[in-house]
Structure formats: structure tokens, C-alpha cells
Amino acid sequence: MESPTSKPFAAPLTTPSAPMSDGDSVFWGTGEAEDPFKASLDKTLAQGHAWLSFPPALEAAYQRDKAPERRRTLERGGLWLLVLFNLMLVTDWMIVPDQFALAVGLRVFFFSTINGVGLLLTDRFTPRSREWTVVGMSVLAAIITAVLCLQSHDRLAAPYLVALVMVVLFNGSVIRTPFWKALLIDAMVLGIFVVSLMLMPQPDWHIMSALMLVLVSTAVFTLYSSYWLEHEDRTNWLMQGQEHHLLEALGKANRRLERMSRFDALTDLANRRHFDEFLAQLWQRARRGGQAIALLMMDVDHFKAYNDHYGHPRGDTCLQQIAALLKRQLRRPGDLVARFGGEEFVAVLHDTALPQAVAAAERVRAGVQQLGLPHAASSTAAQVTISIGVASFQPQTCDEGPPALIAASDAALYQAKSQGRNQVVPSTACPAVAEAP
């Protein structure tokens, strides 16, 4: 039974959450390994596929992709075959009346039964077995026609072999049998025609030659059409795959550019732009909902001296370690931690009153000190420390907007630094209520 599989060109695109490595590029095909499937697709499209076949992996994907549509075509064709093959009983009765009973037995009870069972079991067949079933049923239909002609003594029995052209037309137009199998079917039908002609007593060679020309011409025309239809279908499939990969690459590039525009490359925290947009949106929601918004403004103590003493690479590592700590400590859904600039960080805490914000800030301050990053150039402590200013506003009762919240937390940070650093100072400007609503 054919198992349902996803189309190879329908893979969902996911938003990247991890920071980009230095080798990543926003341009498709650079900075990352090339997809072997795509490479095979491009190579096949460039080289052509005159033999109507792809490399194994590509061919398997093509067959999986086309299997549902092909199954529906064969199901519809099987129903038409039941009708048309049995309608030929009319011509049997007119041309080979002495074999009409045999025709009924072969067409109605034998062939139609097999065809009906095949239709009922279509879902249980693999795509490959379905196509070989088509070959078998086509040859069987041709043999039945030949048997009726060979068994009949009517003078029209030999010309009636022209009915074999129906098998060729049905495969070439109604069910669009793949070219190589259609070629096999047509060759076998022509063989059945020739063998039947040789077994017939005294056929009219003038008439039979003309009929054979009709059969051969029909086979050539339908095979020509079958070849180019399949070639075009395969080419379109390759081009759709190429388009899919281009769109996927463009989507990845756009997401990378979006991430680059919103996240700090060094710390993988939100940047100032993202912070400003986030705070403005959260402010509007909090104004409608009546929640408080807290802001933690943080500054690494004596960071310039740290850079001068240890060098900028060590300074970058220090900022990365502090950023990682902030993400661990302040990870509630709906909150945001950002790099405000240089050695300054900010954290936006939604639905958080001042006491809770101060407690969160104290955990951060203690966590940074516990990192134990040596700071020989600091006049505050032997380790890297951080100063934090905290403010909490209720947008419903404070009309000055986000800039006022930023200014209040920044003023509190300035106070913390002027009081000796390595401490948390809450702001009293335009405060929110003491407890969270």
C-alpha cells in the first residue's frame, strides 16, 4: 500500500532561534553546506533528461510527488475502460457474430471482473505495481481482441484486428501511460497484430497492410505525444523544485536579516530597536489592561577599565556571560532582555510592581557577582559587578509614555553608581502601585 508522504517541495519553513555563526550568510548557497537534493535537481535540469529518468533520489521524490495524481487518473481510466471495453460488444455482434457468446464471456465476465477487482484494490498497490498492472491489462485486452478475430470465420474477422488501435489510443490519451511502458505496450500490441495476421487463413494483404499502417501511425503519434508530455511534466517538476528552494533560501535570508536588525550579534539579546518597539507595544497593552510595567536599567561597573586591563576580546566574553545570566534569570514569557548599548542592558518585565522588580534585580546583581569574573581594575570589588536602576509604572496613571519609564530607571541607575555601584536602586518617580494588580 502506498504510504502518505509529504511532497518534497512542501517542507515548512521555521524561524531560526539560535544566533548566527560567523560563517553564516544572508545569501543563499554561501556560508552553509549545499543541499545534495537541490544540487542534484540543478544538475539534472541543466543536463536535461532525454531518457525520462532522474538520479535515484530525485526519481523517488518525483514518483512520490506524482503518485496521488497518477492514482486518480488510473481510477478514472479504469472506470472508462469498463464502459468502453464492454461497449465493443456491439461491434463484436456486428463483425464477428459467430463469436458473440465468447465475446460476452471474455469481456464481461473475465476482463471486467479483473478490472473491477483492480479498481477496488488500487489503494493497496504501490505506484510501481499499478503501472505494471496497466501493462498487463493492456496486453490482456489486445489478446482478447485477437482471440475473437482468430476464432471467427467471418470475412470481416481479419480487418477487425484494427480494433487493437483502441488499446494504443487508450494508453496514449486517456490514462497517459508513462512513455517507456507505453512503448512496451505498443510494441506488444503490434506483435499481437503481426502474429494474428500470420495465423489467419488467406487475409487480404492489401487491406491488412493499410490497417497495419493505421496501427503503426497511431502508435508513433501517441508515443511522440506521450514522450513530450512526460518530458514537459518532469521539466516543470524540476523547475517547481528549483523555485521552492529559491523561495526557501529567500525566506531564510529575510529571517536572518530580520534577526540581524532586531538582535545584538555579540550577546544574542534584543537590540535597541527591538527594545523600543517592544516597550511601545507592551505599554499600549498594559494601558488597556491596567497592568504595571517594570524596567531594569543595568550597567557593568568599571567596564572601560576592564577592557583596558584585559583587552577587548575578554571584554566581549564578559558581556556574553552576563547576557547569558540575564536570559537565565529573567526568562518569563512576555518579558524582554536587551542590550541597550555598550555595557548597558535593560529588562522589561510585564505585569510587575516595584517590589517584585527590585527583587528580580537583586537576583541579577547577586548572580553577576557570583559569576566570579576577575576584575583587577575595579575599585568596587575584585569581581565584575553590576549596578541596576529599577522603575515600575502603570501606563493608565502615567501619561508620559515609555520615555518617562526609561528616564526614571536611568536616573535610578545613575544614583546606584553614585552611591558606590554594585547595588540596586528603585525609582520613586511616577511609581506604580506597590502591589501587582
Residues belonging to the active site: 343
Please give the angle made by the CA atoms of 280, 286 and 288, to the nearest 5 degrees: 110
Task: Please say whether the beta carbons of 301 and 342 come within 8 A.
Answer: no
Rounded to whole angstroms, the Cα distance separating 267 from 290 reads 33
Q: Maximum Cα–Cα distance for the chain, whole Å? A: 121
Task: Please say whether the beta carbons of 322 and 330 come within 8 A.
Answer: no
CA distances from 49 to 69, 137, 333 (A): 22, 29, 53
C-alpha cell read off for 19: 544566533
* DSSP letter assigned to residue 56: H
Residue found by looking up cell 512503448 in the block? 183
- For residue 20, give the amino acid letter: M
Q: Is the dihedral of CA 366, 421, 268, 305 positive or negative?
A: negative
Rounded to whole angstroms, the Cα distance separating 245 from 370 reads 48
3-state secondary structure of 157: coil
CA distances from 209 to 158, 161, 183, 195, 369 (A): 11, 12, 21, 14, 101
Beta bridge partners of 386: 300
Rounded to whole angstroms, the Cα distance separating 336 from 280 reads 12
Task: Please say whether the beta carbons of 278 and 270 come within 8 A.
Answer: yes
- For residue 206, give the amino acid letter: H
Q: What are phi and psi of 350, to 5 degrees?
A: -85, 150
In this structure, the number of other CB atoms found within 10 A of the CB of residue 247 comes to: 13
Rounded to whole angstroms, the Cα distance separating 391 from 378 reads 27
Rounded to whole angstroms, the Cα distance separating 148 from 89 reads 11
Rounded to whole angstroms, the Cα distance separating 421 from 6 reads 59
Q: Which residue intervals of 263-350 are DSSP H helices?
A: 272-289, 303-310, 312-329
For 275, half-sphere exposure in the C-beta direction (CA atoms, 13 angstrom radius) is 24
